[in-house]
């Protein structure tokens, strides 16, 4: 594979990943904002979701919006750091790198949606 073909493959994978990450960012923010209209704005929301929870205090604000904010920062880094990512290599295969990045982004997206659904299921 020539350097030109590698650059073309990276551009294709990067644009595909950036688009899908942008969709995940938009969906996570929309779901969190929708859930925020129905959320009880309390200092510690965890005991409302799980009455047996006796851990750290987590406010409604941080419970709902931390993962969409993390996804937004990741998306902005992905879009603005394209050339840096092109030259930085961890694995030999670019597809493997994008697959791992996609799996991690999906986990964060899932956690964002799961938290919003947990707030919506409170029914308060």
d(CA 21, CA 120): 24
The dihedrals phi and psi of 56, each to the nearest 5 degrees, come to -70, 155
Torsion of the alpha carbons at 54, 60, 62 and 63, rounded to the nearest 10? 60
Report the percentage of the chain scoring pLDDT > 90. Answer: 59
Condensed to tens digits (0 to 9), the pLDDT of residues 2-24 reads 656 667 888 899 999 999 999 99
Q: Model pTM? A: 0.88
Position 88 scores a pLDDT of: 84
């Amino acid at each position: 594979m020539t350097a030109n073909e590698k650059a073309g493959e990276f551009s294709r994978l990067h644009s595909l990943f950036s688009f899908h990450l942008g969709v995940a960012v938009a969906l996570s923010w929309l779901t969190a904002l929708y859930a925020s209209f129905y959320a009880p704005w309390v200092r510690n929301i965890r005991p409302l979701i799980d009455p047996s929870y006796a851990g750290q205090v987590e406010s409604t604000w941080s419970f709902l919006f931390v993962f969409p904010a993390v996804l937004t920062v990741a998306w902005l880094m992905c879009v603005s750091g394209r050339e840096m990512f092109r030259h930085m290599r961890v694995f030999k295969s670019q597809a493997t790198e994008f697959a791992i990045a996609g799996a991690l982004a999906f986990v964060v997206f899932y956690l964002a949606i799961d938290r919003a659904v947990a707030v919506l299921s409170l029914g308060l």
